[in-house]
Structure 1
């Protein structure tokens, strides 16, 4: 079969590599590692390259990648264009696919992560309403109250805690409170994909790597610019490589990282026998002379000038060598930099102008190159190909390029000093270009900040406006920082970074100062602290202050600081009574705290402000459902469906309302429609299972519960529901296994104790059954169904005094409660009441 023709990128990489000089010891060490089997104590599983900017880390990493490929390794190179662990995994998958190894399961899970994150408002509305006493375990609706929910920029979670989270539970501590709330999230796998995607994605990645290892002798992952990516990668990488928490990493995998600093000894210090530290220093004089000689630069005066100017920094040596200077030229200005020397030696004025112009953007592609250089079409391709081949230009991925910082910084300085007015004009022109592309991109309707492409263009536009020194650029960037925080911590960090970069590149101290302080606040205490700094010191108009208060409230709520979060929402509403989103978010936290009337009142206001917002209307319907206002729930959910017929959430919620009202045909129809729209909607499947139960169809009931648990295996409520279905079918041993699993996930799940107690009674394990029923009643003293099961068990054990006490307690709770139990139970309980001690 004919070989595929190499691409331009392949040829550029081959030519660049052909001229690689130096680092012989490091290359030999890495190559030798592939000749040492993983079980050999001399084999190393991780290499860490570190050294100052310009010392050649990226060049070496690319060379090591080629060495790994020569050994038959599947490889992936990831720089700092990836801003999170999921993005790193996506880049690994993309590069593996280009080498003929698709990671299909990982791609599917990454796609689900992106979808669930986008739909987190729907997934977060994970509340379960309380089922009738006597029909099985009573499960009140609860919601996730976990740090990070709203930090990701998502909307509030609806969740009624009234009647289920009492003062004793709250006194038990925030951690227990959040655990119990999380346990009631109705689509647990969606929650994990949004809140802790690494926990879901990492096992998938490791399975894929293990599968790949069966057909490839080695797997090599190269993670560059670790000084930027390490903050989110380092702990994840340590956990993935050194623990089996997420599964097994194949022994034939080698990880190579590169950054400016050595590794954190507190984290990695005890693993020296499994790693190799690769510190890089500037080239020795011999290495520098060798590289220059390889490019035909042998004139001693020129070599001496290169040695003087570069200090042996490989990126500068390579840059100067590429121009093949034949004369050292006049030294001239003693402050002249190596880059200025390179540009003087480059005799083609078009190339020289292009190199300088393309230093202005933070990243390049062919479109940005055209906008920055404004060169004729016939020169575009050859000039762009030349620039791509330069040693100081590296690929970011996705077709983007970036100058090396060591080269770009002096270029910018030279251009700014040469013509300050020309500098500002060119920055404004680039800002207009990116702004025009941003307007074409459009974003996601009213929420463009959720669109990554739109954000990237807005970020570039803001950078160039800041560099141009536009009067409103800094105030606007600070206003945008509020929206960046709403889009998540990673986006906020990007926005703070652009302030740092623009401040340094344009020598604007105020801009750099804001970027530095916001970055420090984000690193130390997160979005709450950064927004606090902004609210204290920035000049924000009233709507932006209100929006900042909402985002800050979301962060505090995610940290379970409910009183402080509510205070922030109150301030937002006071600042801007027309801000509908503030009422919506305040409704969410009021619902979580059980104040449904206040939550519905807030949503009344939100709907009045935005009557065509289908989500607000559906949210109000959900609150009504959870408050058992069935008529109002059906009204709002029907209106939500009218406004957005594709809202699977509204269909499922209305179906659940119909089921509770006894309209089983309508419930089946609505839940079926929800599942047509979203076939993997675990909550809708579990709710439909209840309809099948009411219709006397246990086969379909169990089928839906099985599917729901396949989608969300760690969902305690669904485990309990299936356990009840199995118990009703006489399969008590299997039921106990489900109850065991539910209680391992939520040790404070009263209904699971009660149900397991009932199954253990059926199995004749009376001592264990009584312990479970005691625990259920301890957790919920007014739990009539558990009291009934315990009274029946006491009667069977002939402990009639205790049985009679439980029966009397049931009557105290509700004089008609005994009528709700089965005829068999009533007969037993009646005989207990009629008996004498």
Structure 2
């Protein structure tokens, strides 16, 4: 696309620098595609690199990225299995684009908000209750979930997921949209990050694509990423629901297995398959020649031992010895990798270094039980050691037989080595935590990272003995959020494979399946543990409480109450369970029951100010405003910086008509917590009531900057314009909100009032009819419809 063609000398140098051998057909197909405009029917939008471990998929993927960037001016991003969710994959794309000088600033701000809101939502009850899910967004999420075929209930999840409450919660969410939507924006982003982050990412990708010839997104180890990313990528390719992907985007998927035909089967015309086989004899010989290996007996033996797998050809080519070394018919797979390393210390270190999943110098020293700085530098130079996320990793083709050899040759030495590594990681975990409670530790990377490695090594050392503890500890991982939970489940899978334990491996795969849908959080994983995990009473309480809070977050209120009740039967003093009951009762309008539950919390934690704040908030939602003030005032006196209490009191004063006092409280809340969107939205309403239209819109501008594309914010903007008499501007904002969420009944009702003010009675009636059809219990809309009908001609 307008770029000068490289010279012959430049091409030769590039090949030398890259150690270019083989895969010319695949590289040529990739290059040729850039010569075809996206409108050409021969152009392919997706390349699928496929082949067995060791065949060179990662090498080729990196080569494709280098080619796209250096030869065609593409912006590129390469994602691998370290991305354990769609938001993490999106974050990796943004981070890598930024390193190439193209920041996705708006997306990054929204991502930061998501991470903060998620942390806040997961911190209850210690920091008090956060806002619940948006009914509109969750109903849309349910519909999208079903459409993508991700609703669980089969396979390993059969019996652990009850489809009845799932369906009931969907109906209840849609019915409750107008009455609860406006009060639950703070965690909408947390509950449905893919739906809310993706349009913003796609928009900024389109802006980036306008400034460069191509965007190339590469997904390595796709056999692991596929179950997470398939529905998202398919939606981006085939639907405009998440935005319009720029046409000059090319995807590369590299994995061991074929693409899922259920997801990709009808996209064969846009996917170019690049199946990789071992090197041809000529390609392998070319690589050996480039390494200076031309002695025919040595060449033949390298070809025999390697099976012409690129990673093994490269490994054996590093130090092939002479023909006299060759011909040992009993050579093991490990001998192939270390056949010509004569130093027994180095050989031992290479085997020990295979035990950890990832290596840095500290981990390597613990593995070799020695001062291994010099040996680590040597190890990093070996061709089967690669870098990923700043850590050294053995190639799977090399590591697997090394582990198998050590496990089968000396089970006792195997167990002792893994136990020593587990103890090392435990020490690092304890040092990083500084006495942090494990419940909070899972939310801290410096704690959870060593904890997962600790469990990996314990499971390798003694699978049967360690499995119950690993399952119990996973309750805390699930409580910390889907990304942490998936890393925990994947740890079980990998430990089961490496220790050859069917029990550990099977549990791991079942849990991975249970955690596939981020919006279900840990609900289904906890169902598996409660049904089949052999939990003791303490662990059952913990699992019930975690599942109860996650069910509350997706508004499965009956199920949440059931979990909390069962937890309290087992442990009457469990504060989180009692507080969970209070939160659920308050969300369903059962305010007396909510206050009773808070009484129990207060008895268990007497004098806690956060409990009094929750009492005040419960009174506010019940419409008992004077009582709410009486409870919130002492909380704020005790802690003037409690922005949640200030916001609640400000809203209470607004309801009492004490507008200026409400404004003062909301000002203080926002001063103490600048991105407190709940308070910004409410201050916008206060300012609008006071006639300060500009100030109200300024607050809503700040909300949109923090959380772009939220339908409720656009609805609030519409109200500000409507109350100011700017009816056309109001309708434009309601239209934008409804484009994002067609089921937003409250926006339809408000748009009806703007249309009526402009004399558009038929349009107003149509909006009210739609609002009532969406939510038959929307009493205000029913009354307005009857009023318009009764006043008709």
Deviation at 1:464? 1.0
Deviation at 1:483? 1.6
Kindly indicate whether residue 221 of structure 2 is the aligned counterpart of residue 238 of structure 1: no
Kindly indicate whether residue 511 of structure 2 is the aligned counterpart of residue 518 of structure 1: yes
Q: Secondary structure at the match of 1:545?
A: helix
Q: Secondary structure at the match of 1:401?
A: strand
Q: Distance in 2 between matches of 1:356 and 1:16?
A: 32
Match of 1:431 in 2: 422
Structure 2 CA distance for partners of 1:752 and 1:237, relative to 1, 3 Å: closer
Matches within 5 A, 1:87-102: 87-102=88-103
Deviation at 1:197? 1.7
Q: Which moved more, 1:762-771 or 1:79-88?
A: 762-771
Deviation at 1:515? 2.5
Q: Secondary structure at the match of 1:256?
A: strand
Match of 2:35 in 1: 35
Structure 2 CA distance for partners of 1:383 and 1:94, relative to 1, 3 Å: farther
Match of 1:340 in 2: 335
Q: Secondary structure at the match of 2:254?
A: strand
Match of 1:386 in 2: 378
Deviation at 1:302? 2.9
Structure 2 CA distance for partners of 1:441 and 1:622, relative to 1, 3 Å: same
Q: Distance in 1 between matches of 2:726 and 2:681?
A: 19
Q: Distance in 1 between matches of 2:294 and 2:513?
A: 48
Structure 2 CA distance for partners of 1:750 and 1:542, relative to 1, 3 Å: same
Kindly indicate whether residue 202 of structure 2 is the aligned counterpart of residue 206 of structure 1: yes
Deviation at 1:733? 3.6
Q: Say whether the 8 Å CA contact 2:136–2:744 is kept in structure 1.
A: no
Deviations 1:596-618 (A, max 9, x none): 11122222222433347655443
Match of 2:284 in 1: 288
Q: Distance in 1 between matches of 2:251 and 2:778?
A: 57
Deviation at 1:768? 4.6
Match of 1:66 in 2: 66
Match of 2:150 in 1: none
Deviation at 1:284? 2.3
Q: Which moved more, 1:760-769 or 1:715-724?
A: 715-724
Structure 2 CA distance for partners of 1:645 and 1:120, relative to 1, 3 Å: farther
Q: Distance in 2 between matches of 1:434 and 1:97?
A: 33
Q: Distance in 1 between matches of 2:516 and 2:771?
A: 43
Kindly indicate whether residue 472 of structure 2 is the aligned counterpart of residue 479 of structure 1: yes
Deviations 1:641-665 (A, max 9, x none): 4666544322211111122233334
Match of 1:45 in 2: 45
Q: Secondary structure at the match of 1:447?
A: helix
Return the match for 1:300 from 296, 308, 311. Answer: 296
Q: Distance in 2 between matches of 1:518 and 1:693?
A: 50
Q: Which runs of 5+ in 1 are unaligned?
A: 1-12, 129-140, 150-169, 800-837
Q: Distance in 2 between matches of 1:553 and 1:171?
A: 14
Kindly indicate whether residue 102 of structure 2 is the aligned counterpart of residue 111 of structure 1: no
Q: Say whether the 8 Å CA contact 1:61–1:222 is kept in structure 2.
A: yes
Q: Say whether the 8 Å CA contact 1:179–1:746 is kept in structure 2.
A: no
Q: Distance in 2 between matches of 1:148 and 1:719?
A: 19
Match of 1:321 in 2: 317
Kindly indicate whether residue 649 of structure 2 is the aligned counterpart of residue 649 of structure 1: no
Q: Secondary structure at the match of 2:61?
A: helix
Match of 2:258 in 1: 262
Q: Secondary structure at the match of 1:450?
A: coil
Q: Say whether the 8 Å CA contact 2:578–2:597 is kept in structure 1.
A: yes
Considering only aligned residues, what root-mean-square deviation do their CA atoms show, in Å? Answer: 3.8
Q: Secondary structure at the match of 2:216?
A: strand
Deviation at 1:341? 3.1
Q: Secondary structure at the match of 1:250?
A: coil
Deviation at 1:353? 2.6
Q: Say whether the 8 Å CA contact 1:365–1:400 is kept in structure 2.
A: yes
Q: Say whether the 8 Å CA contact 1:189–1:711 is kept in structure 2.
A: no
Q: Say whether the 8 Å CA contact 1:127–1:143 is kept in structure 2.
A: no
Q: Secondary structure at the match of 2:284?
A: helix
Deviations 1:412-470 (A, max 9, x none): 12222333333222212211221121112218765122223321210001111122228
Return the match for 1:497 from 490, 501, 505. Answer: 490
Kindly indicate whether residue 604 of structure 2 is the aligned counterpart of residue 621 of structure 1: no
Match of 1:78 in 2: 79
Structure 2 CA distance for partners of 1:319 and 1:232, relative to 1, 3 Å: same
Deviation at 1:244? 2.8
Q: Distance in 2 between matches of 1:252 and 1:749?
A: 34
Match of 2:10 in 1: none
Match of 2:729 in 1: 734
Q: Say whether the 8 Å CA contact 1:188–1:715 is kept in structure 2.
A: no
TM-score, reference length from structure 1: 0.80
Deviations 1:346-386 (A, max 9, x none): 1234432331111010111232223223443xx61x53343
Structure 2 CA distance for partners of 1:767 and 1:262, relative to 1, 3 Å: closer
Q: Which runs of 5+ in 2 are unaligned?
A: 1-12, 143-164
Q: Secondary structure at the match of 1:100?
A: coil
Deviations 1:494-531 (A, max 9, x none): 22222222223223343334334434555599844433
Deviation at 1:145? 6.3
Q: Say whether the 8 Å CA contact 1:49–1:57 is kept in structure 2.
A: yes
Q: Distance in 2 between matches of 1:742 and 1:214?
A: 27
TM-score, reference length from structure 2: 0.84
Q: Distance in 1 between matches of 2:286 and 2:609?
A: 69
Q: Distance in 2 between matches of 1:660 and 1:741?
A: 28
Q: Distance in 2 between matches of 1:616 and 1:447?
A: 20
Q: Distance in 2 between matches of 1:442 and 1:301?
A: 57
Q: Distance in 1 between matches of 2:761 and 2:90?
A: 51
Return the match for 2:594 from 596, 599, 608. Answer: 599
Q: Distance in 2 between matches of 1:535 and 1:494?
A: 20
Deviation at 1:588? 2.1
Return the match for 2:397 from 398, 402, 406. Answer: 406
Deviation at 1:554? 3.7
